[in-house]
Amino acid sequence: MSANLLSLNLVELGQFCAFLAMLVALVQGLAPVGAHAFRQPRLAQISVNASVAVFALTSLGGLSLIHAFVTSNFSVLYVTQNSNTLLPMFYKVAALWGGHEGSLYLWVWVLSLYTMIVGWHGRKQYPEHLPVILAVQGLLIVGFFGLILFLSNPFDRSFPIPADGRDLNPLLQDPGMVFHPPLLYLGYVGFSVPFAFAMTALITRWRSELWIGLIRRWALIAWGFLTTGIMLGGWWAYYELGWGGYWAWDPVENASFMPWLLGTALVHSITVQDRRRMLHAWNIFLVISTFSLSLLGTFLVRSGVLSSVHAFAVDPGRGAYILAFMTIVLTVSFGIFMLRGRFQQAEEAITSFMSRESLFVWNNVMFTVACASVLLGTLYPLALDALSGQKITVGAPYFNIVMVPIFLVIVLLMAIGPLVPWRKANLERLRARLLWPLIIGIAAALAVIFILPASHWTAPVATGIAIFALSNLITEFARAIRQRRLQLKEPLARACIKTVLGNRRHYGGMIVHFGIVIIALGLVGSGLFKSEAAVNMSPGDEVVVAGERLRFEGVTPKRGPNYNAMQGRLTLLNSGRDVRPERRQYMRQENPMTESGIDSTLLRDVYVSMSDTTGGDRWAVHVYVNPLVRFIWVGGGIILAGLFLSLSGRRRARESEALDKAVQPAK
C-alpha cells in the first residue's frame, strides 16, 4: 500500500514540477524584457539561473513518468496505453517516448537540457547576449509546455485503475526504439540553439562575425545527432519491417530529412562566412528555416494530418495548437529578419566562379532545391486534400526521379570542392589534380555498363561520380602526406597522424565526405543491383537468388518475454551459415509481426522474411540479396568519426591560442 501511495505521490509531484517548469521558463523568457523596460540590467541575469531550474524541474517530471512505467503504475493513463506488466524493463523506460504525450515531453526535456548547457557555456563566452539567447529558448519551452500540460498531458490519470496495460506497440519493442527517437530529438532541438543566436543577433544587432563562429559547433552537434538518428532509423526499418528496404520516402521520414538537408547547407555556409565574410543574411535565413522545418516535422508527426507508420493519431485540437505555435514562431522570426536583416551585411563577394566559396554557394543551392522538392512532395497531397478533398499519394517514383540527379550533382561538387582554393583557382593545377580521378571514375562507369547487369542509367553514372569523388579525396590526402614527408622526413604512419591532427577541421570534413561517398556506393548497390524472390517453401526445399542457395529447414516454436513466435531456419548452402526469420504474436496484440533474418558480409546481405503458413508445413518466404547495403551503415560510422575530429579541432585551436598568449613575453 505504501509503495502504491508513493507512486501516486510521485506522479503528482512530477506534474507539479512540470507546471512549475513552465512558469519558470516564462520568467526566463520575460526577464530581459523586464530589464529593458525597468532599466534594471541585473534583472536579465535571472534568465541564466532560471535555465538551470527549468531543466531540473523538467527532469523531475520526466523521471516521475519513467518511475511510473518501471513500477507499472497504471493509474497513469499514458502508462496504461503504452506498457504492461510483461513488457521487458528495457522497453518500459523507452516507452516514455513511445506515444504522443511522452514524445512531446522528451522534446521539451531535451530543449531544457540544451538551454541549460547554453547558459553554462555562455557565462564567459558571450555574457552580454546570453540573457536574450536564453529568453528565446525559454519562450519556446513555454510554448511546448502549453501543449503538453493542457492538451497532451502524460500525467493524466486513469480511473478505475486497470489491472494491466495495453502494451507498447510491437513495432517499437526493439533496441532501435531506445536510441533512434532521442537522437532525432537531440538533432531537431539542437537547431534551436543557432535559432536563438540568430534571433538575438537580429534583436541586439550583434555583428555576424562575432557570433557566427559560436554557432558552428552547435550546428555541427545538432547535425551529427540528426544524421545518427536518421541512420539508426534506416537500420531499424531495414531489419524490423521485413520488406528488405531502409527508406521508403514516408512523409515522416521526409520530416526528418528536410531539416537535415538545410542543416547540411548551413554547416557549409557557416564555413564560407567564417573564412570569407559572406552570406551573412543567407545564414540567418538558413538557421530560421532549419529550425522551422524541425517544428514542421513535429506538426506532421503529431497532428494526425497524415497516415504513416511513424505518425500518432491525435485529436484536431493538438494539431491546431502545434500549427498555431509553428505559425507564430515563423511569423515572429521571419518578421524580425525582414526588419533587422539589413544590419547583417556581407563584407566580401565572390571574385571567381572557380573558387571554393563559389562551389559552396552552388552546394547551398542544390541542398535548398532538394529540400524544396521534398517539401513539395510531402505537403502537396495534404494541401490538395484540404482544398479539394482529392486524395493522392506522392511516393518513391517522384522522389527518386527528382532527388537522384540533385544528389549526383551534390556528390560531384563535393568531389571538386576540397581541391579548389579560396578566392580563385589555378585552372592548370586543378586540371592536373582532377585528371587521374576522372579517368578512374570513367573506368568504373564503363565497368558497370559492360560487366554488371545495371537496370537504370543512374547505376553507371552514380558509380562513376562516386568513384571519382573517392579518388579525389584519397589522392588529395596522399598528396598532403607526401608533401609533409618530403619536408620533415617523417615515417609514413607519423606523417598520416600529424597531417590529420594538424588541421582537424579540414580533414574531419574530408572524412565526412568520404563517409558520404561510401553511403552513395551503398545506395547504388542496394538500390539498383538487388535481387529478390517470393516463394512458398516446405522443409527441404531450396531456392537460388543472385547465386545464393538457401534450403528451408522448417520452423520451431519460440517463446519470448511477452510474445510467442514461430522461428524459421534457412541454411545458406554457399557458406553453411543460418538465417532465422520469425513470425511473432504478442500476447496483448492481435496482428502478427515479422522479424527478419539477415546474413551479412561487407559486400552483400542475404535478407529473409517469413509470412504466414500457406497450408500444412509450407510457409511464404521472401528472400532478398542486397549488394553493398553494409556500406550505408559503415559510411554512417565514418561520418561520425569525421565529425568528432572536426569538432575537436576548434577546441584544440583555442588551447593553442591560449598557450601562445601564455608564453609570449610581457610588453
Whole-angstrom distance, CA of residue 132 vs CA of residue 196? 8
Helix (H, G, I), strand (E, B) or coil at 623: strand
Whole-angstrom distance, CA of residue 220 vs CA of residue 264? 9
- Residue 256, phi then psi, degrees to nearest 5: -85, -25
Whole-angstrom distance, CA of residue 408 vs CA of residue 155? 48
Give the mean pLDDT of the chain: 86
- pLDDT score for 5: 55
Residues 304-315: b if buried by 16+ CB within 10 A, e if exposed: bbbeeebbbebe
Residue 657 has pLDDT above 50, yes or no: no
Helix, strand and coil percent figures for the chain, each rounded to 5? 70, 10, 20
Model confidence over 323-374: pLDDT tens digits? Answer: 888 889 999 999 999 888 766 665 666 666 777 888 888 999 999 999 999 9
Cβ atoms of residues 144 and 62 within 8 Å? no
Model confidence over 396-426: pLDDT tens digits? Answer: 888 889 999 999 999 998 888 878 877 777 7
Place of cell 547535425: 223
Model confidence over 60-89: pLDDT tens digits? Answer: 999 999 999 999 999 999 999 999 888 888
Place of cell 557458406: 575
Q: How confident is the model at residue 315 (pLDDT cuts 50, 70, 90)?
A: low
Residue 232 corresponds to which cell in the numbers above?
Answer: 539508426
Whole-angstrom distance, CA of residue 81 vs CA of residue 166? 5
User: Among residues of the chain, what percentage have pLDDT more than 70?
Assistant: 91
Report how far apart, in Å, the C-alpha atoms of 164 and of each of 167, 172, 181, 281 are: 9, 19, 26, 56
Read off the pTM.
Answer: 0.90
Q: What one-character DSSP code corresponds to residue 596?
A: -
Q: How far is CA 355 from the centre of its chain?
A: 30
Instruction: Give the contacts of 641 (CB within 8 A, at least 6 positions apart).
Output: 511, 515
| Helix (H), strand (E), coil (C) string for 77-132 | HHHHHHCCCCCCHHHHHHHHHCCHHHHHHHHHHHHHHHHHHHHHHHHHHCCCCHHH
Output the DSSP codes for 423-441. S---HHHHHHHHHHHHHHH
Q: What is the torsion angle, in degrees rounded to the nearest 10, for the CA atoms of residue 135, residue 136, residue 137 and residue 143?
A: 110
Model confidence over 565-615: pLDDT tens digits? Answer: 999 999 999 998 999 999 988 887 767 888 899 999 999 999 999 988 877
Helix (H, G, I), strand (E, B) or coil at 553: strand
Angle at 128 between CA 662 and CA 114, to 5 degrees: 90
Helix (H, G, I), strand (E, B) or coil at 607: strand
Q: What one-character DSSP code corresponds to residue 162?
A: P
Model confidence over 114-163: pLDDT tens digits? Answer: 999 999 988 888 888 999 999 999 999 999 999 999 988 999 998 888 88
Model confidence over 264-298: pLDDT tens digits? Answer: 999 999 888 877 777 888 889 999 999 999 888 87
Residue 392 has pLDDT above 70, yes or no: yes
The residues with which 608 forms a beta bridge, in sequence order, are 597, 623
Element spanning 548, H or E: strand 548-559
Report how far apart, in Å, the C-alpha atoms of 45 and of each of 121, 130, 139, 200 are: 14, 9, 16, 15
Q: How confident is the model at residue 211 (pLDDT cuts 50, 70, 90)?
A: confident
Residue 450 corresponds to which cell in the numbers above?
Answer: 559492360
The residues with which 26 forms a beta bridge, in sequence order, are none
Model confidence over 510-559: pLDDT tens digits? Answer: 999 999 999 999 999 998 889 999 999 999 999 999 889 999 999 999 98
Whole-angstrom distance, CA of residue 490 vs CA of residue 555? 60
- pLDDT score for 650: 52
Instruction: Give the contacts of 121 (CB within 8 A, at least 6 positions apart).
Output: none
- pLDDT score for 458: 84
Residue 1 has pLDDT above 90, yes or no: no
Instruction: Give the contacts of 219 (CB within 8 A, at least 6 positions apart).
Output: 191, 194, 263, 266, 267, 270
How much is the CA Rg of the chain, to the nearest whole Å?
27
Place of cell 491525435: 314
- Residue 452, phi then psi, degrees to nearest 5: -95, 145
As a whole number of angstroms, the longest Cα–Cα distance in the chain is 93
Cβ atoms of residues 195 and 136 within 8 Å? yes
Residue 653 has pLDDT above 60, yes or no: no
Model confidence over 475-524: pLDDT tens digits? Answer: 988 988 988 888 888 888 888 888 888 888 888 989 999 999 999 999 99
